[in-house]
Amino acid sequence: MTQLNSLFDYTGPLSLGAFGLLCLGMIIIMIRSRRPQSLHTDYYQNEWKHIESRLKDKDKWALAIIEADDLLDHALRTRKYRGKTMGERLVTAQHDFSSNNTVWFAHKLRTKTEHVEAPKLNKTDVKDALLGIRQALRDIGALL
């Protein structure tokens, strides 16, 4: 009987320690799975240069806005902002943007551009939209 009691003296703390380690491991896994991934700024920098190259031709302005909006959406997904749609991800990320209104202006302009066969874009709107997206990409760490 004394051997049985001494066995229980050791198994209690051991099982408590094992349970504690299990809980700690689960917490670490949960934190790491929610942590936003770091972004490869070289990729985003190259994509942004490609988008800027489209600005030389007025006929490609709409494509530049669409690609810039897609690039921002890619960065938001990579950083694990929640939402089923780009709009939902923008809402989730709005507190990280220094100019939320400009980002929304750009996204709305993209949507409008996509649904019109030959959209009439003016230089100011295109410039404002792309500046807003570029700043948003900087705000979330995609561009330097």
- Chain segment 107-123, per-residue pLDDT in tens: 999 999 988 877 789 99
Task: Confirm or reject CATH 2.40.128 for domain 41-139, answering yes or no.
Answer: no
Helix spans in 35-122 (H) = 41-53, 61-78, 86-93, 100-115
Higher-confidence residue of 126 and 31: namely: 126
The confidence score (pLDDT) of residue 6 equals 59
Angle at 116 between CA 138 and CA 132, to 5 degrees: 15
Judged against a pLDDT cut of 80, whether residue 26 lies above it is answered with no
- Please state the pTM of the whole predicted model: 0.75
Question: For 67-108, what is each residue's pLDDT tens digit?
Answer: 999 999 999 999 999 999 999 999 999 999 999 999 999 999
